[in-house]
Structures are given as C-alpha cells and as structure tokens.
Amino acid sequence: METYHSVIFAALSGIGLELMAFAYALQGTGTFLTLAVLFLGIFVFEALISLRFAENIKAKLPLPHLIDDIKHIHISHHIVLPMLLYMSICGFIFYNRVSLQTQLVIILGVLTFFTIFQSQRISFKKEFTFDETLNYLYDAIKIIIYFLGIDIIIQSQIYFSFGSVISFILAESLSFILFLLIIVRKNQFNSIGMLYIFLSSIFSAGITVLLIGHMPVLTIALISGVIYYLLVAVIHHKINASLTFSVIVEYLIVAVIIFLALRGIAG
C-alpha cells in the first residue's frame, strides 16, 4: 500500500471525476452533485492516512517537538490544496460538461493529485523538509486552481445572473485564500505580509471583473491566471527582499510566453 499510495488515490480521483462528467451529461445535476459529495470522501480518507503517516514519522525523530513549527505548513497545504483543486475541477465540469477541455482538465488534475500525494510523503520521509521544489509545486497548483476558479466565477455570474459586485467578492476571496497560503508557508503572519496579499487580491479581482463581458470567459481566466502568477512572484520576492526591476521584467516576459502558449492550445 505504501508503494502505490499516490497512484491509487490519484487514480480513484480520476475515476470519480470521469464518472461525474458522464453522469452529469446523461442524468443531470442531481446525480452529479451526489457523486461529487461521495468522491470528496477520497480526499478526506487520503488526508487522514497521510496525517497518521506524518505522525508516525514525527514520533521516530530525535527531536519531534521541533517539527511542530513547520508541520502545520505541510498539513494546511496537503489538505487545502487537494480540496480546492477537486472543487475547482468539479465546478469546471459543471459548466463545461463532457468536452475536450474538460478531459484535459481532468487529466491535469489526476497528474497534479499524484504529484501532491507523492511529494508530501517524500517530504515527510525527509524529516518534513520544505525545499524549493515543493515551493514551486505548490505555486503551480495554486495557479491552476486560480485559473479554474475564475472560470467558474464568471460562468456562475452568467448562469445565476448575479452582479459584478458578487463576482468581485468571490474572486477576491479566492485570491486572498491562495495568497494567504504563501504567508503561511513563509511564516510571515504580520501586518506587512497581510497588507501585501490583501492589496494583491483586490488588484487581481478588480482586473478580472473589469474584463467580464469584454472577452471570452476562457481568455479572461487565462489573463487572470497570468496576473496571479505575476503577483505570486512579486510577493515572494518582496518577502525575500529580492524584488528588482530586472526580476519584474523577467517574470513579465515569462508571463507573456505562458499566456500565448496557453491561448494557442485553447483556441
């Protein structure tokens, strides 16, 4: 079980998402929502198993109390990120039904779930080491969640006919939660760190709302995702006191390349 843990749970998540997509297309919203709730149990069960695994690793360490300062970082990311990703994919399925884009998102989701589960367990075995690879991984996952989340928010505004204010609140809340995880990881719970993420979340949400109605939904989601990527980079470098003009230019160039590449794939 230990060897195939990540494979099994990632595969189960993929099976669940595929069943939801086709059940929704064939039987409607009720069946879709029922399956979404049932398969949520996969992530709850996996989180409980991993928490027990982490506790066993911790108990074997020479000074287990030293791990308490960083263990909450792993646990918060390990529980929050898979849950947010799962809900984001479910929402994307709800609005896009069975389509090529949906299948690509499900495949990406399965690969991401496997990466989360596997990297976490490797990190636990390395005495809860939180290296740069894991930092980049978490940031990439948040970009995926943000892209899917913005798509869902815009689709919801169209579907439920609510106003731009609600869209702004939802987009700002999503941004703030994802930015907050950076503060958790960096242990920067102070007024300056909170101000950075608060202003960043307002800026990203504001741009998103301003674009609604002027561009296709997918294009807005892509632009919002790129903006989120840039803000994450700025927050990281600001916290590390390494933000310079050349760094900003470098990230802008990468952001443009990412947007053009994804736009080309999408359409």
Q: Domain spanning 1-130 has what CATH number?
A: 1.20.120
Other Cβ atoms closer than 10 A to 53: 16
CB atoms within 10 A of CB 177: 17
Instruction: Decide: 18 and 118 in contact? Cβ < 8 Å.
Output: no
Structure tokens at 85: 């990703």
SS3 string, 103-168, reads: HHHHHHHHHHHHHHHHHHHHHHHCCCCCCHHHHHHHHHHHHHHHHHHHHHHHHHHHHHCCCHHHHH
Nearest alpha carbon to residue 265 among 64, 105, 29, 91: 105
> Taking all residues of the chain, what is their mean pLDDT, rounded to a whole number?
82
pLDDT in tens, 82-141: 899 999 999 999 998 878 889 989 999 999 999 888 888 877 777 666 666 777 788 888
DSSP state of 213: T
Please state the pTM of the whole predicted model.
0.85
Task: Give residue-wise pLDDT tens across range 15-25.
Answer: 999 999 999 98
Domain ranges of the chain: 1-130, 167-267
